[in-house]
Amino acid sequence: MKKKLLFFTCCILCMFLLTACGGAKVEEEMYGDMTAADLEQRAIGLADELTSMNSQDVIQAQLYYSMYGSQEENGELFSALLDDWTEVVTTCGEFQGYGDFSVEKSGKTVTAKLPINYSKRDAELVFVYNAHDMTLTAVNANMIYTTGEIMKKAGLNTVMGIGTVFVILILISVLISCFSIIPKLEESFNKKEEPVVASPENLEQIRSEEANEDEGELIAVIAAAIAASTGTSTDSFVVRSIRRI
């Protein structure tokens, strides 16, 4: 009987301990002085403003931040965000709601993601904070693609990369083949006239050509001398022959 009472007492104690453990409040993780709920509220606040904008509103906001963004807090970050949001507005369709908010801390950064559901394609807002002081360092709007679309893009990128490599290889092959032609072209351009070798058959011809060349030079000298002495031009007379004395 005592053993049963002792066993019963132990069971009741265990139940109380389990109840106490279950009723203990789990401490929520803090990110600086903010909780995950605070970050989610901040993200939804910005998302509400973005989803209420049409394409014309986005253009006007871009114009404003391009002119006065440096004067606003996080102005440059929001200017870059609006560039991303232009694609979301023109592509994703009608706004339908928000997905599950998530926060992840890794090293010196805290990344918060808020999925946004649309009729054609979903998107997400990504906030990057400095884990030390929780200052916002980046905020982006990304399109969410399906696995099939990602594989299709990867395939197209692979085909383009391989095609580019083959084109470059073909151009290199053509260039290398030209190396055998370039010396021949250079040789043909730089080829000099072979000298005439004197022989009994062409000796008289060589002498005649040399005599004609000497006579031509002599005629030119005499014509220049006559023109200088008479004060006339060489065009006013013609030296037809020279008789040696």
Mean pLDDT for 200-224 is: 62
Nearest 5°: the CA angle 202, 206, 211 is: 150
CA 70, CA 60: separation in Å to the nearest integer? Answer: 16
pLDDT at site 211: 56
In the predicted model, is pLDDT for residue 155 greater than 80?
A: yes
Helix (H, G, I), strand (E, B) or coil at 92: coil
pLDDT band of 43, cuts 50, 70, 90:
very high
Mean pLDDT for 57-78 is: 81
pLDDT at site 5: 38
pLDDT at site 215: 61
pLDDT at site 145: 82
Task: Please enumerate in sequence order all residues whose Cβ is within 8 A of that of 218, keeping only pairs 6 or more positions apart, or say none.
Answer: 242
Question: Is the model more confident about 239 or about 51?
Answer: 51
Q: What is the mean pLDDT of the chain?
A: 77
The answer, as to whether pTM is greater than 0.75, is no
What is the torsion angle, in degrees rounded to the nearest 10, for the CA atoms of residue 135, residue 140, residue 141 and residue 147? -110
pLDDT band of 91, cuts 50, 70, 90:
confident
What is the torsion angle, in degrees rounded to the nearest 10, for the CA atoms of residue 185, residue 186, residue 187 and residue 188? 50
In the predicted model, is pLDDT for residue 56 greater than 80?
A: yes
pLDDT band of 201, cuts 50, 70, 90:
low
pLDDT at site 123: 93
pLDDT at site 30: 85
Give 98's strand partners.
116
Q: How far is CA 189 from CA 30, 93, 173, 177, in A?
A: 82, 68, 25, 20
Nearest 5°: the CA angle 172, 178, 183 is: 145
Q: What is the pLDDT of residues 1-10, one digit of tens each?
A: 444 434 434 5
In the chain, % of residues over pLDDT 70? 70
In the predicted model, is pLDDT for residue 208 greater than 70?
A: no
Answer yes or no: are the C-beta atoms of 140 and 76 closer than 8 Å. Answer: no
Q: What is the pLDDT of residues 119-135, one digit of tens each?
A: 998 999 999 999 888 88
Nearest residue to 61 (alpha-carbon basis) of 48, 46, 78 = 78
